[in-house]
């Protein structure tokens, strides 16, 4: 059975490649406007929507959809739209703990499994130069919360999966995929 990653994220592609030898990448074009007050439920819904969108035209495959959000003070921090929003996000996270949630859906014609993985991340105290230098790299604009754990140097502690914070909790996903790929 062919495996499809329904994501355009190069980080997810790299992470999935650590546990799956051969797979295709077909990003979802689904409408991601989900209204939900519960961040964990929302991220699970988003992963399902992405997987279902690709599955609809590839129903003979195993499709993996994923979505990652940052939650701080009860608010969901998506990808910043501009430098000011990136600045506000990073300054707000400075010296504090936030949650990173990744929803994952694995879908075949017979079974669908959706789960969320949650990591607690602590930022070091950032000064204005740390923030402005990072924004100047352009890196914040394609990442939830405006940062990448792999390239920012802002994280001083993590409780949970590092890979979840990057964008795909491969440890847990490997266990789920084993249920589909056995036999």
- Answer for the pair 16, 63: CB distance below 8 angstroms, yes or no: no
Q: Pick from 31, 123, 26, 20: which is nearest to 77 by CA? A: 123
Residue whose token pair is 């059975």 = 1
Q: How far apart are CA 61 and CA 20, in angstroms?
A: 14
Let me know if 67 is a catalytic residue: yes
3-state DSSP call for residue 150? coil
Hey, how many other C-beta atoms are within 10 angstroms of the C-beta on 166? 22
Secondary structure tally for the chain: helices H, strands E: 6, 7
Q: How far apart are CA 165 and CA 163, in angstroms?
A: 5
Catalytically annotated residue among 31, 60, 67, 73: 67
The alpha carbon of 57 is separated from its chain's Cα centroid by a whole number of angstroms, namely 23
Active site residue ranges: 67
């Amino acid at each position: 059975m062919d495996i499809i990653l329904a994501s355009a994220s190069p980080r997810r592609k790299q992470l999935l490649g650590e546990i799956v030898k051969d797979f295709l990448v077909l990003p979802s074009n689904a409408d991601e406007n989900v209204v939900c007050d519960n961040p964990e439920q929302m991220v699970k819904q988003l992963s399902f929507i992405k997987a279902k969108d690709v599955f609809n035209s590839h129903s003979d495959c195993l499709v993996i959809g994923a979505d990652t959000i940052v939650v701080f003070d009860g608010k969901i921090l998506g990808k910043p739209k501009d430098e000011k929003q990136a600045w506000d996000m990073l300054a707000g996270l400075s010296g504090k703990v936030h949650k990173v949630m990744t929803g994952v859906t694995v879908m075949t014609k017979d079974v669908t499994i959706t789960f969320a993985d949650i990591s607690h991340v602590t930022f070091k105290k950032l000064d204005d130069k740390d923030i402005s230098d990072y924004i100047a790299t352009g890196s914040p604009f394609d990442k939830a919360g405006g940062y990448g754990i792999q390239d920012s140097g802002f994280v001083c502690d993590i409780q949970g999966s590092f890979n979840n914070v990057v964008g795909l909790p491969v440890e847990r996903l490997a266990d789920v995929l084993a249920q589909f790929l056995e036999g």
